[in-house]
């Protein structure tokens, strides 16, 4: 691809991306601070990747997802996961009508555009797994009948840290289907003071208005597919993911701490997320900095650490950060 073509894509990106500023501003009317969280939710939406949010209760994880849905004319559904849930509560079921002698299909809450799976790790594994087909294939099967889900379709799940009582570990197959895993931190003092002024009332709480549409998101996705990624950047992405499996090959002495590295899905998701990040910066090409900016969110839930790493109080994101700090950037 030559320079003129890249410049043309950049112009299209800047023209198509005009909705991003009002979108951020509208969400900012409701969510104080948390710009990292808001930007990553938008990247997930643009890159067609599901997002997992982890943090202690009360950090506006649920509110952020609801607010994002409010800014678009998309169908929104919320699933509150509990230990006594059944798979049919997620995807739907067939109900027998004794008067007609026929079964009618009752659709579950997963049949929406934006699905908020709240406290996903409070439900048993069979319920969490009911989301797998919907997340990967964008379809569900009810009583032998396969139903396609409307685009855009995105699952944004929240979970509490696994140390909290009454939580279940998410199956690895499901965790891998989330493009991004975000760790949400407490706001700083100034932000908390703003939150107090905005939210400490019994009625008249701020609500987001519609500023964009699902069609605009789908158009942006088509443009993101055209964003140029140089061969050197592609090689950097592949090296980064391969280094999680065989760090010795790259002279990074962390092999004893890694039990399992990232799957090829990480390579795909890292490239897509980097292109979406470039789109948000108004560029028609992705740089290594786009990759580095998003890499921790793509890799932190895909690197499985050993007991040795746990004994030294190292988390998977510490390992991923070490790779990012050590691997040469093109």
- pLDDT single digits (tens) 114-140: 888 888 888 887 887 778 778 888 888
Q: In angstroms, how far is the first alpha carbon of the chain from the final one?
A: 19
CA angle at 113 for the pair 108 and 118, rounded to the nearest 5°? 65
- pLDDT single digits (tens) 8-39: 888 888 888 899 999 988 888 888 888 888 89
Residues 6 or more apart whose Cβ sits within 8 Å of residue 233: 274, 286, 287, 288, 291, 330
Q: What is the pLDDT of residue 178?
A: 92
Residues 6 or more apart whose Cβ sits within 8 Å of residue 183: 54, 55, 300, 317
Cα 253 to its chain centre, rounded Å, is 30
What is the rounded distance in angstroms from the CA atom of residue 152 to the CA atom of residue 148? 12
What is the rounded distance in angstroms from the CA atom of residue 273 to the CA atom of residue 276? 5
pLDDT at 162 over 70: no
Q: What is the pLDDT of residue 50?
A: 93
Q: What is the pLDDT of residue 164?
A: 62
For the record, the structure tokens of 285 come out as 């090409």
Q: What is the pLDDT of residue 233?
A: 95
- pLDDT single digits (tens) 54-91: 877 777 777 888 888 888 878 888 888 888 888 889 88
CATH 3.40.50.300 domain range(s) in the chain: 31-199
- Superfamily of domain 225-326, CATH level 4: Magnesium chelatase subunit I, C-Terminal domain (1.10.8.80)
More confident residue, 101 or 267: 267
For the record, the structure tokens of 35 come out as 């710009």
Q: Model's pTM, two decimal places?
A: 0.89
Residues 6 or more apart whose Cβ sits within 8 Å of residue 20: 42, 280
**Backbone φ and ψ of 300, nearest 5°:** -60, -25
What is the rounded distance in angstroms from the CA atom of residue 200 to the CA atom of residue 120? 28
What does the pLDDT average to over 291-304?
A: 92
31-199 CATH pick, 3.30.420.40, 3.40.50.300, 3.90.1150.10, 3.40.190.10: 3.40.50.300
CATH 1.10.8.80 domain range(s) in the chain: 225-326
**Where on the phi/psi map is residue 165: left (φ > 0), alpha (ψ -120 to 50), or beta?**
beta
């Amino acid at each position: 691809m030559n320079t003129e073509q890249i410049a043309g894509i950049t112009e299209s990106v800047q023209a198509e991306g005009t909705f991003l500023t009002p979108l951020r501003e509208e969400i900012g009317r409701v969510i104080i601070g948390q710009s990292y969280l808001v930007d990553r939710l938008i990247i997930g939406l643009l890159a067609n990747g599901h997002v997992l949010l982890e943090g202690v209760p009360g950090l506006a994880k649920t509110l952020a997802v609801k607010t994002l849905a409010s800014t678009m004319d998309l169908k929104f559904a919320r699933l509150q996961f509990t230990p006594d849930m059944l798979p049919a509560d997620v995807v739907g079921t067939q109900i027998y009508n004794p008067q007609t002698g026929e079964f009618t299909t009752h659709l579950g809450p997963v049949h929406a555009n934006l699905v908020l799976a709240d406290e996903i790790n409070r439900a048993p594994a069979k319920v969490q797994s009911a989301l797998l087909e919907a997340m990967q294939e964008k379809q569900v099967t009810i009583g032998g009948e396969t139903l396609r889900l409307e685009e855009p379709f995105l699952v944004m799940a929240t979970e509490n840290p696994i140390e909290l009582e009454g939580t279940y570990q998410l199956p690895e197959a499901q965790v891998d289907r989330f493009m991004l895993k975000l760790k949400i931190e407490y706001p700083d003092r100034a932000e908390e003071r703003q939150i107090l002024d905005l939210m400490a009332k019994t009625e008249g709480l701020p609500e987001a208005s519609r500023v964009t549409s699902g069609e605009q998101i789908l158009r942006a996705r088509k443009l993101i597919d055209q964003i140029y990624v140089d061969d050197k950047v592609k090689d950097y992405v592949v090296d980064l993911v391969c280094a999680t499996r065989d760090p010795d090959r790259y002279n990074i002495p962390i092999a004893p701490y890694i039990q399992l590295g990232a799957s090829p899905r990480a390579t795909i998701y890292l490239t897509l997320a980097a292109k979406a990040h470039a789109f948000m910066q108004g560029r028609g090409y992705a740089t290594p900095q786009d990759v580095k900016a998003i890499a921790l969110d793509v890799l932190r839930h895909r690197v499985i650490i050993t007991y040795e790493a746990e004994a030294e109080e190292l988390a998977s994101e510490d390992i991923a950060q070490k790779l990012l700090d050590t691997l040469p950037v093109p």
